Amino acid sequence: MSEILPLFPLQLVAFPEERLNLHIFEPRYQQLIRDCESTGSHFGIPSFLEGSLQNFGTEMELIRIEKTYPDGKMDIRTKGLNVFRIDEYFDTAPDKLYAGGIVKRMSNNTDSDIVLSKRLVDGIGELYRIMNIKKEVPMVEGFSSFAMGHHVGFTTEQEYEMLQIGSESQRQEFMLAHLERLIPIVRQMEDLRKRVQMNGHFKDIIPPM
């Protein structure tokens, strides 16, 4: 079903399930947030990439306004809900300062594949180990590609590509293919870093024969 949604384009990809904190400084988006607060309505964050507005985005719920500054700026907490596609975009919504659009919420199959989940958890753990990242590795049970979308080294363009995939198992396949390409490169770079650090040190070298 299509409906009109207030839009807040940003140069990022917001995912369903994501908790996103934002600093609101433009008057048009201050108006948008005040409208959402007073009516309980949601707004959308479509991605603005490579200088143009993209068709897909994520519907966001305003959790709360954390702080309001004397000049009207505010800090807010939001939560991602659903992926949508823009069918028609308006630079300004009727009688508003901010943009709006007729959007269609996209279907989302959330059934994950337990085998893929296990391989992803192992791959993420390996990536973090190689890079010495002190971050918690997700559990196999309840694994969510959207929850990990910002934590596996995707480019923004790759994040946007995954946003458009309507099946969790297909998103898992997309993420796994990325990790299988990335990990050997990271491992090679880490080996290079260690060799550079060793340069100039005294070495015990065993002759080949």
* pTM tops 0.85: yes
pLDDT value at residue 3: 77
- Chain center to CA of 184: 23
Which runs of consecutive H residues, i.e. helices, occur in the chain? 27-39, 114-131, 156-163, 168-198
pLDDT value at residue 61: 98
Tens of pLDDT, residue by residue, the chain (209 residues): 567 899 999 999 999 999 999 999 999 999 999 999 999 999 999 999 999 999 999 999 999 999 999 999 999 999 999 999 999 999 999 899 999 999 999 998 888 899 999 999 999 999 999 999 999 999 999 999 999 999 999 999 999 999 999 999 999 999 999 999 999 999 998 887 777 776 555 455 555 55
Please state, in angstroms and rounded to a whole number, the distance separating the CA atoms of residues 130 and 189. Answer: 10
What per-residue string of b and e applies to 163-184 under the rule 16 or more CB within 10 Å gives b?
bebebbbebbbbbbebbeebbe
pLDDT value at residue 202: 46
SS3 state of residue 6: strand
Burial class (CB in 10 A: 0-12, 13-18, 19+), 29: buried
pLDDT value at residue 194: 74
Please state, in angstroms and rounded to a whole number, the distance separating the CA atoms of residues 169 and 117. Answer: 9
Amino acid at 150: H
pLDDT value at residue 2: 63
Q: Cβ(6)–Cβ(24) under 8 Å?
A: no
Please state, in angstroms and rounded to a whole number, the distance separating the CA atoms of residues 153 and 130. Answer: 13
User: Measured between alpha carbons, how far is residue 133 from residues 155, 178, 203, 205 in Å?
Assistant: 18, 18, 29, 31
SS3 state of residue 66: strand
**Domains assigned to the chain:** 2-105 (2.30.130.40), 114-198 (no CATH)
Partners of 3 in the β-ladder: 103
Name residues whose C-beta falls within 8 Å of residue 73's C-beta, 6 or more positions apart in sequence: 23, 24, 25, 30
